[in-house]
């Protein structure tokens, strides 16, 4: 069941398990992706794309962190920002909202639209 609010957010009342699992480690992301291939649940796919984008950003921050001093600083603050985005995405999945993570969420949907 799906409802729309006045601010344009969509709330999903159906099973949210796959969407939540997608945010729990890379193994959870892969498991949610594999389990959603048969169901083709758009809510789960939306959050799988968000989680995949966060994982890609995390890997990029790891690579940047390999650069001494400046890379460490960028990686530290980027990781804090990534943690904030991850928490926001998880909260949206738990609450059944189709809302992108701040700043990068719309790009994640665009980049991974085939998933």
pTM, to two decimals: 0.85
Residue position matching structure tokens 């809302």: 99
Residue spans of the domains in the chain: they are: 16-111
Q: What pLDDT, in 10s, does the model give residues 42-65? A: 999 999 999 999 999 999 999 999
- Residue 4: exposed, middle, or buried by beta-carbon count in 10 A (0-12, 13-18, 19+)? exposed
| Model confidence at 8: pLDDT above 80 | no
Q: Give CA–CA dist 113/65, Å, rounded.
A: 29
Across-strand partners of 88? Answer: none
pLDDT for the residue numbered 15: 67
pLDDT for the residue numbered 107: 96
Q: What pLDDT, in 10s, does the model give residues 65-102? A: 999 999 999 999 999 999 999 999 999 999 999 999 99
């Amino acid at each position: 069941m799906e409802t729309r609010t006045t601010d344009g957010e969509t709330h999903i009342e159906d099973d949210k398990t796959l969407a939540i699992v997608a945010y729990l480690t890379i193994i959870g992301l892969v498991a949610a992706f594999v389990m959603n291939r048969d169901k083709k649940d758009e809510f789960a796919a939306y959050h799988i794309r968000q989680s995949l984008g966060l994982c890609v950003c995390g890997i990029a921050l790891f690579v940047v962190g390999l650069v001494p001093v400046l890379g460490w600083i960028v990686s530290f603050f980027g990781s804090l920002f990534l943690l904030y985005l991850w928490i926001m995405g998880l909260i949206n999945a738990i609450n059944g909202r189709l809302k992108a993570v701040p700043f990068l969420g719309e790009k994640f949907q665009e980049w991974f639209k085939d998933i």
